[in-house]
Amino acid sequence: MEALKQELKERIIEVLNLEDITPSDIQDTDALFGDGLGLDSIDALELIVLLDKEYGIKLADPKQGKEIFQSVETMAAFIAENRTKL
């Protein structure tokens, strides 16, 4: 799980173009949206693509994203449970 979280942080920084941020800047339980990393609606959509492309998870309903993307912690838990790509 730790490796997955680290990988997630790196991937999030890369696909969302978070230039001046390093994985160690992101705590597992930091809020990704709202006040935390301040991600916006396009970022949320991009994370949906990330789930599909890297982990083979297609969300049945994009609205599920709100719960899943709360933090790196929640994302990792969801991925560990649902991934179809290793």
Partner 1 sequence: MYAINKFINIRKDAIFENGTCVYQNEDEGFSAFMKKVYKERGLAYPKFYKMDDLCKLAFMAADLLLEGDNEKDIALLLSNREASLDTDLKHQQTIQDAAAYFPSPSVFVYTLPNITIGEISIRHGLKSESAFFIADRFPAERMQQYAEYLLNSQKAQKVLCGWVHFMNGEYRADFYLVDSRGLLTHTMEHINEITK
Partner 2 sequence: MAVYIHDTHIISPLGFGTRENFEAVVSGKTGIAPVFMNDSIGSVYAARINDEVLDRYFQSIDAMFKGSRIEKLLIAALTPVMAKNGIKENTVLVLSTTKGNIKALENHDLHSAFITQLAQHINNYFGFKTEPLVVSNACVSGVMALSVAKRFIETGGFSDAYVVAVDELSPFVVSGFQSFQAMSSEPCRPYDAQRSGVNLGEAAVAAYVSAENRPDGVLMAGEAHINDANHISGPSRTGEGLLLSIEKAFKEAGITARDIDYISAHGTATLFNDEMEAVAFHRAGIQQVPVNSLKGYFGHTLGASGLLETVLAAESLKNNMLVASLGYESPGTTQPLNIIMKPEKRLLKMVLKTASGFGGSNSAMVLIKN
Binding site for partner 1 (CB under 8 A): 15-20, 38, 42-43, 45-46, 49, 52-53
| Binding of residue 38 to partner 2 (CB under 8 A) | no
Q: Which among partner 2, partner 1, none contacts residue 18 (Cβ within 5 to 8 A by kind)?
A: partner 1
CA distance 12 to 49: 11
> The tokens of 35 are what?
């006040």
Half-sphere exposure of 13 (CA within 13 A, CB side): 15
CA distance 86 to 79: 10
Least Å distance between CB 71 and partner 2? 22
45, 64, 66, 85: which one binds partner 2 (CB under 8 A):
45
